[in-house]
Amino acid sequence: MRLNPIKIGDFTLPDNLFLAPLAGYTNAVFREMCSQLGAGLTFTEMVSAKGLCYGNEKTQDLLYITESHTGITACQIFGADPGFMRRACESEALAPFGIVDINMGCPMPKIYKNGEGSALLENIGLAEKIISECKKSGKTITVKMRTENEESEYTTQDFAKMCEAAGADMITVHGRTRDKIYSGDVNLKEIAAVKNAVKIPVIANGGIFDPSTASAVMKKTGADGIMIARAAMYNPWIFSEITGKDCGDKRQTVLWQLKKTRDLYGERFACVYMRKMVGFYLKGHKSSTSLRSKLLSCKSCGEVEEMINSIQL
């Protein structure tokens, strides 16, 4: 993959390999870990603009940044009200974030039915107003979108051109339509078409699970960078594999993640979360099924730690 620094709005990032927003997974500790492993930029889980404006405590918890995390910080917000979206960008909660990403690609029914996420791909006027209002906050604004469904009134390129004209500093394109959710082939031609349609940086997303597919996607789309999503859940070391950065001892990295997660979020959350994460990391392990079963029976972080020390990562 072609690695290089990339300028997004007011910021120059160390490389063009990003960690996607992943609901339920990209908490502060995981983001810091992926950054240490080579990700040039990481995003928070998607955060409700209205939740921020109303001071929802759980919403604000998603925005925590570890004290030891260095580098540029980015968050992703979602909503369908331009006023709330701008207020969220200007809120004290988002003050630490230089980059705000607008979710215009989430396919989940509860988001789509509220007119948010990927529903905005079908309402280009509203989407344009949201971007332009968010841009008034003075933040660097990016957009994460999908390719259009067959019944869409606008092409993917039309939507991307609108994003640029409205003030977006970068576009990430997930190369699947909303109805495909996260399955099926990724339409690399559509990502390439977006790259050719706009002058701002375009990041390719979808179906990237190893260094070879990352290189292939970059070559076939001409994109300015790559965003890794689900692959990072199973193998956060993919960032080191692509960048060539020394990833260190994997076991020590996972033990660090466990300790940091427990210190920050408490015993109960850390136990449940790390059981799940270590289970992901075991993908491809010859005894993964039995080991995952043992993990699920762990009732404390101490037991999870014992499991981590007993397996080959």
- DSSP-derived secondary structure letter, 44: E
From CA 226, how far away is CA 217, in angstroms rounded?
A: 8
143: Cβ–Cβ under 8 A, 6 or more apart, which residues?
A: 101, 102, 104, 131, 163, 168, 170, 171, 172
8 A C-beta contact, residue 33 and residue 240: no
From CA 22, how far away is CA 133, in angstroms rounded?
A: 25
Active site residue 89: no
- The beta strand positions in 206-247, using DSSP E, are 225-228
Question: Which residue reads 């979360």 in tokens?
Answer: 273
Q: Which of 89, 106, 134, 301 is catalytic?
A: 106
244: Cβ–Cβ under 8 A, 6 or more apart, which residues?
A: none
From CA 285, how far away is CA 262, in angstroms rounded?
A: 26
What are the catalytic residues? 106
